[in-house]
Structure 1
């Protein structure tokens, strides 16, 4: 007879995933509540309501599991981290692009988590979260298409015959390498331009409303990095006469009124950076041109350094909660 989940302890990945999801969704609740204070389009409002409902459900379910297991519930983010009375900072169009990115992140994150989860209640939770992300991503994509705002990836010719690679120069730079990009390479270039442009828009808004000079300068630097990376990727597409998606910085208003705490905005940025590092890693593994691999690798190194600087700022200001850790056996064996 199978054991009930109440008699099975949570594993390291199960605790860690739930802990991270709690922080991320508590942040999303604050962000989405604020967005809903300034929304004109009823269709986009419906998506924001749906997203908020999902994040609220996640937080409550995880809190229930932690209380049952006698695990300390993270502080996360609360109404103290958002000013719902602040003026509008982003447009409706930005909200739509934001939800698209949010749903895509959920698809990638939950699908990566599920194979490492064994306890039935946790697996059920993440299975439902993945299904909800699939539905949300479909809804937002359809709405983007209906409103003519979808940034569809470029088209490439249909192959009309089977061909085999005959030269090593297909992969290696300096050997008369191919100029044409593979469909997979085009996909990653387009996607990473989009995510960097969204990052540039968010950093623009955050830099306008940040409280501390340290956080403000960090967001300004993030914007510069995002725009630089987007240009590197755009150049590859343009050299192949392929269109690149346009930026959305114009969807940020001129407001400088307090909206989010610096703690929330720095955490938000850390999540975006973590996602970006993963995106670049996948692009490296699926790119077959050495120049592309080199560019992704050097840009990833820059993002890693930027991420480290962000962590240092959060630690210095006591904005970073400590994640669940394994037992420090060496510390336990030390004698006074």
Structure 2
């Protein structure tokens, strides 16, 4: 039983606020995919994802109401046009659930490490478990449909080895082959950016606002550069490059989403991307890989700033709860 005298900490409010916005956004997007999807195997997975995100939104709403905290302004049916023709084929809905559940597992893990109040801890731990199960189910379904590309295989090692020279970290001139941790991060970076390119391709067909269209085009270029950079590294290591799957975009030119929803989605993805590139950087023990990750994290941060500027100018940027300005209150 939670003692209501134990107030939420700033970290707990921040985690719940961020999760509410992401899960509310997911409800809208999955509603769209469910409306158009005809695949008898994918549709139940979309329903599971919808039910989970809806439940998470309701739970956070209940907590905020009990604490007297305003509910963030989310998205509604007004941000969706279900009469618009399908923008993506059925497999993209499956790819969306896979990508979002994977990112949610990682992000929710960070949030869980920052909370202490029992009800918030229980909520986030349960959310990780549920999202992990959704990730497992989406991965298995992608495997069965032949659209999941596993990371590169290497021969099993014969012995445990130790680095004998400082040249182990060199990425220029004569350099060692990449290790399994580095291969893994490169693979998932490419996979994530393929998903982003497909998303950008679809949205560029339907967005009519020139400034937002250019913003999406800029994001597509950043993702394409990362794909090319890291595929080149894999090819030089004779690990073969990663190719796109059969997940494609239709020829529809009618937008099913509001401009506000689209830019907010990109803003959310940018934040997760910075986190994941930072994680890859922390595991890169070869200097050339570290240099690439540093370069791209700066690019994504600059791109993210453009998105925030766009949201502020359009009146779409919600501010998380802020600490009071004590200096202002101290004035006579």
Matched, 1:79 2:67: no
- Residue of 191, 200, 203 corresponding to 1:203: 200
- Within the candidate set 170, 186, 191, 2:188 is matched to 191
Separation in 2, partners of 1:76, 1:317: 16
1:302 aligns with 2:293: no
- C-alpha displacement of 1:205: 1.4
Cα separation, 1, equivalents of 2:146 and 2:244: 15
Give me the whole-angstrom Cα distance separating, in 1, the residues matched to 2:305 and 2:14: 20
Q: Unpaired runs of 5+ in structure 2?
A: none
Q: Report SS of the residue matched to 2:81.
A: coil
Please name the residue that 1:259 is paired with: 256
Residue matched to 1:109 = 107
Q: Per the alignment, in what secondary structure is the counterpart of residue 6 of structure 1?
A: coil
Pairwise CA distance, 1:126: 0.7
Separation (CA, whole Å) in 2 of partners of 1:112 and 1:193: 22
1:211 CA displacement: 3.6
Distance 1:143 1:175 in 2: 43
Equivalent residue for 1:160, pick from 158, 161, 182: 158
Shift of the 232–330 alpha-carbon distance from structure 1 to 2, 3 Å rule, reads same
TM-score with structure 1 length normalisation? 0.95
- Supply the distance in 1 between the matched residues of 2:136 and 2:128 (Cα, whole angstroms): 12
Residues 22 and 62 of structure 1 are in contact (CA less than 8 Å); yes or no, is this contact kept in structure 2?
yes
List gaps (5 residues or longer) in structure 1. Answer: none
**Cα distance in 2 between the residues matched to 1:237 and 1:175:** 17
Aligned to 2:218: 221
CA distance in 2, matches of 1:301, 1:110: 24
Question: Using the alignment, how far apart are the partners of 2:113 and 2:160 within structure 1?
Answer: 36
CA distance in structure 2 between the aligned counterparts of 1:243 and 1:40, rounded to whole angstroms? 34
Matched, 1:285 2:291: no
Could you say if the C-alpha distance between residues 41 and 259 of structure 1 is closer, same or farther in structure 2, counting changes exceeding 3 Å? Answer: same
1:316 paired with 2:310, answer no
Q: Is the 8 A contact 1:205 1:252 kept in 2?
A: yes
Partner-residue secondary structure (3-state), 1:235: helix
Distance in 1 between the 2:254 and 2:287 partners? 46
RMSD: 1.4
Instruction: Say if 1:5 and 1:121, in contact at 8 Å, map to a contact too.
Output: no
Instruction: Give the CA deviation at 1:247.
Output: 2.6
Q: CA deviation at 1:14?
A: 0.8
